[in-house]
Structure 1
């Protein structure tokens, strides 16, 4: 069965974006970038990867899931951000923008969609963002891959939105730290 991996950058205080969706405080360059890309190649928008000379071959995922706010970060310039992957955007209100024909927009229950995806053959499934979407899929996530950044936001979009108190155990699979202060922590469900 395919696995759902929540691979995302987060601040030391557990935010994946600021109050208005800001994420520019996260370090995207530095000595951590190449090893993380090697492990999770193909997790940059297609056009950006090509412009930077990064290969997307060998991506551990063939499908990417995101909420509307995560998707909208690239608009209007990138209406088809991950052209090399099957893209599913969960939204209740927004319509598909021009140029996004390859992107699937849905208001279906994310848990039903992920269960259907997991039953199909293929590579891994990447949840790339949306704290509220992650909260809805919390019990369906098999792996966490957290790029922990040496910054604190104080407010914003939490890793798992506003789920309330609900303890879950996870098993640390690997932890890689870099001189930049960034750490890649990988967990599987305990």
Structure 2
């Protein structure tokens, strides 16, 4: 069975973006970018691969899940398939179907869709964001990979936007990757 992995950058106080959705403040610093390009090349948008020296992004993922707000910045730049090296599922009720065969707009129940997707053959599934989608899918998340940045935001889009409902994970690894960023890996 495929695993759902929520791989995301966060502030120390648990925000993945500013209240307006901006996330550029995360950087990354050059040493962090090098580490991520080496260990997590699939998580960079396809258009960034040449600048980062990524030839063929190998790794554990063959699919990525995004909410509408996570997908829209690429659309505004005219990029319909930001992660063309992965099968992309965008959860949005008001977007029309995509003309790109690598992008599927999903308007059905996210939890039921992901439960079915996890049963299909393939690699692991990357939950890219945002906070509302992560909140809906948190009970289905098998692994959390949180890049904790040395920033306190005070408010913004939370890591998982959902009502109070404790979800327990076990810390598997904590790796400093440079510039004060620590990669925390949790599993169910």
* TM-score (ref. length: structure 2): 0.93
What's the offset of the Cα at 1:48?
1.1
Instruction: State the match for 1:166 in structure 2.
Output: 165
**How do residues 132-147 of structure 1 correspond to structure 2 at under 5 angstroms?**
132-147=132-147
Question: Would the alpha carbon gap of residues 63 and 91 (structure 1) be closer, same or farther in structure 2, given more than 3 Å must change?
Answer: same
Where 1:42 maps in the other structure, the secondary structure is helix
User: 1:94: how far off?
Assistant: 2.2
Which whole-Å CA distance do the structure 1 matches of 2:33 and 2:164 have between them? 33
Which one is further off, 88-97 or 8-17?
A: 88-97
The runs of at least 4 consecutive aligned structure 1 residues that moved more than 3 Å come to none
2:65 aligned with 1:65: yes
Matched positions, count: 187
Partner residue, 2:89: 88
* Contact 2:35-2:177 within 8 A present in 1 as well: no
Structure 1 position 22, deviation (Å): 0.7
Aligned partners of 2:102, 2:122: CA distance in 1, in Å? 18
- Give the match for residue 175 of structure 2: 176
Unaligned runs of 5+ in 2: none
Higher share in helix: 2
Deviation of 1:61 (Å): 0.1
Partner of 1:137, secondary structure, is helix
* Structure 1: 5+ residue stretches without partners: none
CA distance in 1, matches of 2:177, 2:38: 14
Q: Which residue of 2 aligns with 1:112?
A: 112
State the alpha-carbon separation in 1 of the partners of residues 167 and 91 from structure 2.
Answer: 25
Alpha-carbon spacing, 1:165–1:116, altered in 2? closer, same or farther (3 Å): same
